Every structure is written in C-alpha cells, then in structure tokens.
Structure 1
Amino acid sequence: MRRIAVVGAGQAGLHLALGLRPDGPPAGAPGPGGTPASPADPRPRPPQPYDVTLYASRTPEDVRSGRVLSTQVMYGPALALERAAGLGLWEDRAPLITELGFAVADPSHSPGGGFAAPLDEPAQSVDLRVKTAGWLELFEARGGRVVYGTVGPADLPGIAAAHDLTVVATGNGPLAEVFARDARHSPYDRPQRTLAVCYVRGTRTPDGLGGPHVRVTPVAVDGTVAGEFFVLHALTLDGPCEIVLWEAVPGGPLDVWADRPGPGEVVERSLGLLRDRLPGEYALCRGMEPVDAGAALTGALTPVVRRPVAEVAPGTYVLGLGDAVVLNDPVSGQGSSSAARAAAHCLRAITGHGDGPFDRTWMLRTFAAHWEHARHVTAFSNLLLGPAPEHVRRILSAAARHPEVAHRYVNGFADPAGFAEWFTEADRAGAYLAVVGAAVPADGG
C-alpha cells in the first residue's frame, strides 16, 4: 500500500485526499454532519491501494464555528468533477446560479448599461465552512487518517520521509513559501486588490435577472476603475444566502478595510460605499444583514505562480497543489473551480502511475500537464486586474449590444482556457468581432 500525505484541507487538498479513498464509508460510520451512513453493503470491499494521511489545521467543529474562508463559485465543469468523485453533497440544497450579469460604470459612478446572459450549465456556491467540515468528516468515515494541528516548513522533511508522496495543498502562510516564486508567470509583487466579503441575507434581485445569479459592477472614479462590487447567491450553514464582495484598488476610495472590521461593520461600510458610488446597488442591498458572527473576511493576496516542486531535505521533494503554486486574485471567480481541476488532474496522475516512483521528474511532469490549462486561467485573471486593454473594451461594449457576444463571454467563465481563442489576445478578439458583425470602436460608439 502506497503512503501519501496531503498537507492542507481546503478545496484542492480534500478533493485529492477523498479521491484516494473512493470506496465510501464503512458500515455504520457516520456521514457528513453526523448523519447515519447508508446501510451495510454485504459485499466485501476491495483493499485500498493508498494509505492517506491528511494534515488539517482545524477540526470540523472549529471550521463550522469560525469565520468564512472565501468567496467561491463552482461552474459546471468543476461541479462535474466533484460529482464524479462522489463529492457533490450539497447540489440539491445550494441555489442554482443560472446567470451572470455585468454592469458598466458611467462617469457619474452609477450603473449605466451592461449585459447578462444565461449559463449553459448552472453554477453553485457553497460556504467553505460547510464543504470543508463535511468533507473532513467524510474522509474520516472512508477510513482516511486526519492529523489536526499546524504544519510548518520544519515539519515537511519528517512528513515526506514517512510517505511515498507528499502533496502540499495550502497557499496560506509559511508553507507556501517553500515553493519558489516563478518570475516568468508572476507579474505582480504586491496585492492588486484589497478584499472584503460578507455573507448576508436581504438583498433584492434587479430587474432583468430572473433568479440566483452572479452580478459584477465596476466602480470608476475620474475615469479610472477603483475596484469592483460583486453579489452572488450561495449556501451557508443554515441555508441559502447572498455573498457581497468588494475588490478595491489599494489606496483608492473603496480601500476602507485595513482595520479588519467584523460582519456588522462590513455591511455598514458597504452600504455607505454603495450609497455614494452605486446608488442602484444601494437600493438593492439596503436591507442586507450578516448571516452570523463569522460572516465577514477581509484581507489581500498577491497573485503568484510558484515552482511546483520543493526540496525540503537533500534528495527529498514535495509537490505543490492548487493555491500553493497557482494563486490568482478572486476577481475572476476561478479559485474553487481551479482547485477542483488541479486536484482531479493530480488524482489521475497518481492513480495512473502504478508502482512507479513519485520522484522529482514525475512531480514536474504532473504539474507541467496541469499548467497547460492553468496558464489560461492565470492570464485571464491577471488581465482583469489591470486597466482594460482596448480590445477588451471593444468586446464588453459589443456584449452589451449583441447577445451572442454576451453569451460567449459569460460562459467562458466555466472554462477560461477558451478565452485564448478570442478574448485575451487583441488580434483574435478583433477577428472574432468582425466575424460576428459586432465590431465597435473602443469607446462603444
């Protein structure tokens, strides 16, 4: 039996660990949340090929009682990966996100036009407190071993020496720093946005959007984008809710979160910003209230791509996964979907490797194959952080007038690799707009 360690119990780490323990809970074991497992299967279970140890910083109880961990959207292809692994535990409870809407901020800072389009496959958002706690319980029910506590860089040599493969799947804190920054793919050396999120109830749906959705409104000040405001529908601990997210350009008028305010203060400041900057959104959000005492999260991150393999002792290597090696700003809404893709790819690489050694060469090849897709997500995310290039302004202007363009842009979020064909590069964007008869000048006229 091959021994595998997964360090980090987030979207990527749990998906991978559970994929390596696919047999389902043993007879009589509790299911996620303490619910009874299915009746005993009288057939003998095959032996597990992997002895998996998961290192998690917090217990399920600590996760549920703590603060929210992120915003997240899982698009159709990512949900299919979870479903195939038997991990879609909340699909029948989470709201089905059926539309994406994008406003356009006019010079007076009020929404002035924009576009929306349906998703070909619905998306969903599940509070990671719900998902993480439930998956931790499921992993233990499947016979996986969980070691609870903080793991630091100094612990990795011992963990790696005790296992055939060690995967580090956390992008937070010192652990991520064991992987060197890849300057070729990391144009930023500091955060491009400060972030404030709150899980709330009491927002209203604007005219033109028929149900659960994601809507995005940029905020412009003196002709320069100061950040973005997002609203999306989600599932939290006690049922459906909405999530509001601010992406503020550091030092700008939306950057008012440095003191790490709690949920009530995040809502109060949000309403003040909306009243001054986005009065249409203020009218929709004025009744919102936090869902619980842990409903807010503020902070910032630096988008970065890191080298995927780290030598933690002479001749001893660990593989990075998910945010540990590819960390994008949430402005593109790709974090959870990208983590699911990374985990599924790593799982296939492990299970398809037979008895071969999990050496440095295998690790590098595994990441290189994943990067062929992940690089498009990074390019798209970074494109959204800077001033919009002329060809992007042309496409967004065309999307407000041509449903075909709006539909293609909205559904591109499900798999940003497709944006390389028509959106991220200026010449291909111009050719696409010409073909669909939607070419417009950069100012939208």
Structure 2
Amino acid sequence: MGLQAHAYDVTLVSARTAGEIRDGHVLSTQAMFGPAQTIEREAGLNLWDAQVPAVRAMRATLIDPPGTASVAITGRLRHPQRSVDQRVKLSGWLELFEQRGGRVEYRSVDRAGLGGLARRHELTIVAAGRAELSGIFPRDPARSPFDRPQRTLACLYLRGVASPPDPAETHVRIPMVPGVGEVLLQPALTTSGPCTILLWEAVPGGPFDCWQDRPSPHDNLERSLALLREFAPWEHDLCEKAEPTDANATLYGAVDPVVRRPVARLDDGVSVLGMGDTVVVNDPVTGQGANSAARCADVYRRAILARGERPFDDSWMHETFEEFWAYARHATAFTTAMLGPLPPHMARVLGTAAVREEVADRFAEVYADPSGARWFLDPAEADAYLEAIGARP
C-alpha cells in the first residue's frame, strides 16, 4: 500500500481471500511495540487503535519451584504495545488495498509460478512466512543461531481472562520456569473483540511439551488450566472462567530460528527477494516477528522509492536486505539470548530489575527496540551499567 500511494503498479498474490483469512484458523501470536506501530501509523494502517487494548507494562515472573513465584520484574513501556489478531489485520489491509484500486490475484504460487510472476514484473518480493515457498532461500549458517527449534508452541485465544489487581495498568504477563519453558498472556484484539492470547513456549521433552495431538480449543483450555494450576496457580485463577474466542482459536507448531540468504535465483535465472520472516525467523518468545516484518516492509518500501528508474538487480536486493539486517540482527541476538540459560551478567541485570524500577523499565524497552540491547547482552557493558547506577555488578 505504500507503493500504491506513490502510483506504483503493484500486483499482490494471495492464496486466500480476506473472508477466508478472517474466518480461518489463528495465524500467529503478535505484539507490536511503539516503533513498529509508528511505521503503521505513518502509513495510515493503524485501523484498530481505538479498539485494541493498550499494553503499558510487561511482568516477567520466575517460577522456582513449580507453583512458587521466586522473582518478579515489572517494566513499564514508554509507548503502549498493541496486538491485533492477524486474521483481523491482514484481511482488513487486503480489503483496503483492493478498495484503493489494488490488483489481487487469488491463487497459490509454487516455484514455477513464481518464475512466471518474476518474468512479468520488475521486482518480485516473496512474503510467504515460513510456508513451503520460503525454502527457495538457502539457509545462511553464519547468521543462523540454531539448527533446530528451541521450543514447541501452543497458542490459544481466550475471552474472559480476569485482570490481576497489581499492576493496575494493562500488561503482558510472562511466567518463566527454568528448564521447562515460558507462558505468555498477551492482551489483544480478535475477530470478536478484546481477548487474551495464551502462548505456551515449551522446552522439548519437558512438561510443557504436551501438544503433539493438537487438541481442540476447549481441550487446549482444559490442559492449559491443569498446567497453570501446577506451575502458576495465580494465573490459573485468572483464567479459570475463560473460554476460547472461536472454533479456530488454536495454533500449534515449532519455530526453527533461521536466517536465510535474501535472494533466490530461479531456474530461468530470474531473481526474487525474500521479506520478513521468509528470510529472518525468530522464536516468538520475545515478540519480535511482527515488529521485524514492519521494519522490513518500511526498509524495502523506502529502498524501492529511492531506486527510481534503475533496475532492481541482485546487488540492489542484497544491499536492501543488509539495511534490514542491520536492525534484525539485534532482534535475533536478543531472542537467542532469551531462549537459553541466562549467562551471569544477564542474571545480574534481571536480579537488579526485580528491585530497581528504572532497570526493569529499561529491560522492557529492549523488547520495543532490541537495537539498544547492548547494555544487556554484552558482559562488560552490563556490569558498567550496574556500577553506574550504584548496583553491585
């Protein structure tokens, strides 16, 4: 739509119509922080701001032993975070693109079909997420932090989750169980109104890793309540009277964190450019996927406009991706750190955040913009920061 606003001739290919997306299964979890929302707002695409819950704080709770909250960190965000069900967002944007005169072809595309598209257009961008078509972009081993998923995932959209009394403002809650996994409870907007997204991040082989049978929404809720009763009983009490938002309110799987090479050369020699999590995939534990996608779209849009009449050759494609990677590498580094056992310097920072509000707030802002995370990720800088604020490193 950004290119459309500048009179570019854009063809969008979608395997599903807006109605099919809206009425289909949950596509993701998502959490848009302030900087990414600014990108959408400047493009006039923030269509749901008046309806979506404004999340103003993040609360991470270390559970050790099961059932006991040993440490809690509450960090307030400078700008509210928001989450709109992608069934709502993508269908709404697709309809808006067509209302503005955009051309959409509703069909699936394989490698051969992609080649046909690329031959007919000056530039072809693949935004296929983690679907099969993403496999045409080779893995970049030097930038890929893992060679297998670090968590198995189970997601359920709920309505009727009660709010805790403290803190009073709307916030994301993240119970964390060492060696077992994480639970994220994210206020959001879905097709039927405000809701809470419950996401299980399970260490493979552990007690949270129990979703292989992909249960129905109601069976998922029953199993989730049993796990919450054992590991986070205060969250169980808040979710006890909740119910699934709809019959398609679940999503299961595992994310293989990977960075792919951004340019794929097809059989006839034509090249295409990968976008967003087609080429940079992070586990959702830090909520970076939707934010990185918005950044990528903005970088690509600006680069296309700046290119003018010059061809979108392979060199331009690589340079454009590297501009996005300058941001995305920080999101990857932050997510990688939060998936593993925390090294001592990060544990010291989080220990201080539990008792120092300014440290907790600064840690929350890492989620909003991980490019500023060096103070947390680098041992020397972390200790220097703690010393500077009078906390013992």
- Fold-level match, TM-score > 0.5? yes
1:312 and 2:266 are equivalent in the alignment: yes
Which of these residues, 158, 173, 185, is aligned with residue 116 of structure 2? 158
Please list, as runs of the form range in 1=range in 2, the aligned pairs for 1:130-209 lying within 5 A after superposition.
130-209=88-167
Q: Measure the CA separation in 2 of the matches of 1:77 and 1:187.
A: 25
Give the secondary structure class of the aligned counterpart of 2:77.
Answer: strand
Deviations 1:309-329 (A, max 9, x none): 010134311001000110000
Please name the residue that 1:356 is paired with. Answer: 310
Please name the residue that 2:64 is paired with. Answer: 106
For 1:433, the aligned partner's letter is L
Q: Measure the CA separation in 1 of the matches of 2:129 and 2:192.
A: 28
Please name the residue that 2:214 is paired with. Answer: 260
Q: Measure the CA separation in 2 of the matches of 1:126 and 1:169.
A: 19
Please name the residue that 2:364 is paired with. Answer: 410
Please name the residue that 2:172 is paired with. Answer: 214
1:20 and 2:33 are equivalent in the alignment: no
Q: Measure the CA separation in 2 of the matches of 1:168 and 1:259.
A: 31
Shift of 1:173: 2.4
Shift of 1:286: 1.3
Please name the residue that 1:396 is paired with. Answer: 350
For 1:190, the aligned partner's letter is R
1:330 and 2:313 are equivalent in the alignment: no
Equivalent residues of 2:161, 2:239 under 8 A apart: yes
TM-score (norm 1): 0.86
Please name the residue that 1:74 is paired with. Answer: 32
Please name the residue that 1:236 is paired with. Answer: 190
Greater mean alpha carbon deviation, residues 275-284 or residues 179-188: 275-284
Gaps of 5+ in 1: 1-17, 23-47, 441-445
Give the secondary structure class of the aligned counterpart of 2:196.
Answer: strand
Deviations 1:62-120 (A, max 9, x none): 11111111110111111110011110111111111111111111224422231212211
Give the secondary structure class of the aligned counterpart of 2:11.
Answer: strand
1:424 and 2:377 are equivalent in the alignment: yes
Please name the residue that 1:60 is paired with. Answer: 18
Q: Measure the CA separation in 2 of the matches of 1:74 and 1:195.
A: 20
Q: Measure the CA separation in 2 of the matches of 1:379 and 1:172.
A: 20
Equivalent residues of 2:63, 2:231 under 8 A apart: no
Deviations 1:268-321 (A, max 9, x none): 110011111211211221111101101111111100000010101343110010
Shift of 1:413: 1.1
Which of these residues, 181, 197, 200, is aligned with residue 227 of structure 1? 181
Give the secondary structure class of the aligned counterpart of 1:101.
Answer: strand
Q: Measure the CA separation in 2 of the matches of 1:49 and 1:234.
A: 34
Give the secondary structure class of the aligned counterpart of 2:101.
Answer: coil
Q: Measure the CA separation in 1 of the matches of 2:350 and 2:344.
A: 10
Shift of 1:125: 0.5
Percent of aligned pairs sharing the same letter: 50
Please list, as runs of the form range in 1=range in 2, the aligned pairs for 1:116-127 lying within 5 A after superposition.
116-127=74-85
For 2:2, the aligned partner's letter is G
Equivalent residues of 1:152, 1:175 under 8 A apart: yes
Please name the residue that 1:301 is paired with. Answer: 255
For 1:205, the aligned partner's letter is S
Q: Measure the CA separation in 2 of the matches of 1:152 and 1:250.
A: 32
Equivalent residues of 2:66, 2:177 under 8 A apart: no
Q: Measure the CA separation in 2 of the matches of 1:110 and 1:399.
A: 19
Gaps of 5+ in 2: none
Q: Measure the CA separation in 1 of the matches of 2:213 and 2:222.
A: 14
Which of these residues, 434, 441, 444, is aligned with residue 387 of structure 2? 434
Equivalent residues of 1:323, 1:339 under 8 A apart: yes
Q: Measure the CA separation in 1 of the matches of 2:111 and 2:389.
A: 53
Kindly report the root-mean-square deviation, in angstroms, between the aligned alpha carbons of the 2 structures: 1.2
Equivalent residues of 2:59, 2:73 under 8 A apart: yes
Shift of 1:386: 0.9
Give the secondary structure class of the aligned counterpart of 1:413.
Answer: helix
Deviations 1:28-52 (A, max 9, x none): xxxxxxxxxxxxxxxxxxxx53110
Give the secondary structure class of the aligned counterpart of 1:352.
Answer: helix
TM-score (norm 2): 0.98
For 1:132, the aligned partner's letter is L
Structure 2 CA distance for partners of 1:244 and 1:108, relative to 1, 3 Å: closer
Equivalent residues of 1:94, 1:240 under 8 A apart: yes
For 2:278, the aligned partner's letter is A
Shift of 1:238: 1.6
Equivalent residues of 2:26, 2:249 under 8 A apart: yes
Give the secondary structure class of the aligned counterpart of 1:280.
Answer: helix
Q: Measure the CA separation in 2 of the matches of 1:108 and 1:265.
A: 23
